[in-house]
Amino acid sequence: DVKVTQSSRYLVKRTGEKVFLECVQDMDHENMFWYRQDPGLGLRLIYFSYDVKMKEKGDIPEGYSVSREKKERFSLILESASTNQTSMYLCASSTGTTSGNTIYFGEGSWLTVV
Amino acid sequence: AQKVTQAQTEISVVEKEDVTLDCVYETRDTTYYLFWYKQPPSGELVFLIRRNSFDEQNEISGRYSWNFQKSTSSFNFTITASQVVDSAVYFCALRFGTGANNLFFGTGTRLTVIP
């Protein structure tokens, strides 16, 4: 079974703090993703990585950065957390970007910024 | 435009009833894939099934079955003899073409199974 593991399930951070969300996948997938999920807005892609040290912006990259130093690990960084970044964050991975490749998701990280 | 519609926002059933979750999609691509995911209250999005646009065979997996009909652009999901553990939000999704942002989700159907 594919396993995408997000290290922190529940976090509470203060406005202005730097926040790291870590994600590890165990299936040697080239592609990794960070989404956020908000009620009424569905899933929105923040960043995507198709290889180590490679990244592409998604629909809502503002206020976020990412790091992929190893193939299995993809980190999402909130440089200076703000209350409008309170959300559920989902990491995902996939073998490729064509339509037939299933995207597998992690357990989610619930972030509250106060 | 690509679009996935799940018209049922919330459904409640009593345990052991059968329930069908509807999904209607829209795409101009001839090659595409359809997916169902389950999101229980704990939050993880669990992959359930993938179906490609050229394979209209229905699929059954235990109490789950899926009915794909290209003629009506629908990919419906039926749970037979529902159980409390089936309570979750279910998402239908469409993926087409190539790229990072080529996965489109419906808005989800919240299923509550009452014991």
Q: Please state the rounded mean pLDDT for residues B64-88.
A: 96
Q: Does A102 touch chain B (CB under 8 A)?
A: yes
Among the residue ranges A1-5, A16-20, A91-95, the one predicted with the least confidence is A1-5
What pairing do the DSSP bridges indicate for beta strands B88-96 and A31-38?
A: unpaired
Determine contact: B30 vs chain A, CB below 8 A: no
Question: What letter represents residue B69's amino acid?
Answer: Q
A94 or B98: which leads in pLDDT: A94
Per-residue pLDDT tens over the stretch A57-78? 999 999 999 999 999 999 999 9
What is the per-residue pLDDT across A30-57, written as a single tens digit (0 to 9) for each?
999 999 999 888 889 999 999 998 999 9
A and B: number of Cβ contacts within 8 A: 61
Query: What does the mean pLDDT of chain B come to?
Result: 93
By the CB < 8 Å criterion, does B95 face chain A? yes
CA distances, A57 to each of B40, B88, B100 (Å) = 28, 30, 9
Q: Taking a C-beta distance cutoff of 8 angstroms, is the pair A54, A110 a contact?
A: no
Mean pLDDT of the region B37-61: 92
Mean pLDDT throughout B79-96? 96
- Residues 49-88 on B with a CB inside 8 Å of A are 50, 52
Closest to A99 (Cβ–Cβ): which among B33, B42, B108?
B33
Share of chain A above pLDDT 90, in %: 83
pLDDT number for residue B5: 95
Average pLDDT of every residue of chain A: 94
DSSP string across B91-108: EEEEEESBSTT-EEE---
Cβ-defined contact of B107 to A42 (cutoff 8 Å): yes
Preferred mutation among A55, A99, A103, A110 to probe B, highest tally of B CBs within 10 A: A99
Side chain identity at residue A102, one-letter code: T
> Rounded CA gap, A71 and A57, in Å?
18
Long-range contacts of A27-30 (CB under 8 A, 24+ apart): A27/A2, A27/A3, A27/A93, A27/A95, A27/A104, A28/A71, A28/A72, A29/A2, A29/A93, A29/A94, A29/A95, A29/A104, A30/A71, A30/A94, A30/A95, A30/A96
- For residue A107, pLDDT beyond 80: yes
Average pLDDT, integer, range A26-33: 94
Q: Residue A107 and residue B98: Cβ atoms within 8 Å? A: no
When mean pLDDT is compared across A34-38, A69-73, A96-100, B7-11, the lowest value belongs to: A96-100
Q: What is the pLDDT of residue B1?
A: 65
